[in-house]
Structure 1
Amino acid sequence: MSKAKYPLVAGLVVVLVLGACKDEPGEPVVEDAAGAKDTAFEYLQEQYPDNAPDSGLQWEEEDITPGGLVGTSVKQFTSDGLTVTVSAPVVAPENIIYTTTITSIDGGWYWRGEVRPDGSVTELSLLAEMSEEWSQDIAEEFVKNSPTFAYDGIAETLELTNVLMARCLFCWAFTFEFDCLHAGYGNREGEALAQVITHHEAVIIVNKGEVVSAVMDVKWDMLRQAFVSLESTRWVLESYGNADNPQAILEGTEVTAEFLAGEVIGSAGCNSYFASYEIDGQDITIDSIGATEMACLEPEGVMDQETLYLSALGQAERFLIEDGTLKIFYSDDQVLTFSAE
Structure 2
Amino acid sequence: MRRGTMTVGTVLILLGVVFCCGCTEEPMGGGDLTGTVWMLESYMNMDGSMTESLATAPVTAEFADGSVGGTSGCNTYTAAYVTDGQSLTVEMPVVTMMYCGESGVMDQESRYLSLLRTAAGYMVSGDQLTITDSSGQEILVYRAVNQNLGGTEWMLTGYNNGAGGFVSVLTGTAVTAAFSEDGQISGTAGCNSYSGAYVVTGSAISIGPLAMTEMYCMDPEGVMAQESAYLAAVQAAASFRVGPGDLTITDADGTRMAVYKRYTPAPQGEDWEVTGYNNGQGGVISPLVGTTITAVFGEDGQVTGSAGCNNYFASYSVSGMELTIGPVGSTRMSCETPEGVMEQESQYLALLGDVSTFERAPETLTLRDEDGSILVTYAIAQPKLTAGEWQMVSYRDAGGNTVSALAGTDVTAVFGEDGQVTGKSGCNSYFGSYTTDGPTISIGPLGMTMMYCETPVGVMDQESGYLAALEQAVSYRMSGNELTLHTEDDSTCVRFMQEV
Same fold (TM over 0.5): no
Shorter-chain TM-score category? 0.3 to 0.5
TM-score, normalization by structure 1? 0.35
TM-score, normalization by structure 2? 0.24
RCO (CA 8 Å, sep 6+): is it higher in 1 or 2?
1
Answer with 1 or 2: which has the greater Rg. 2
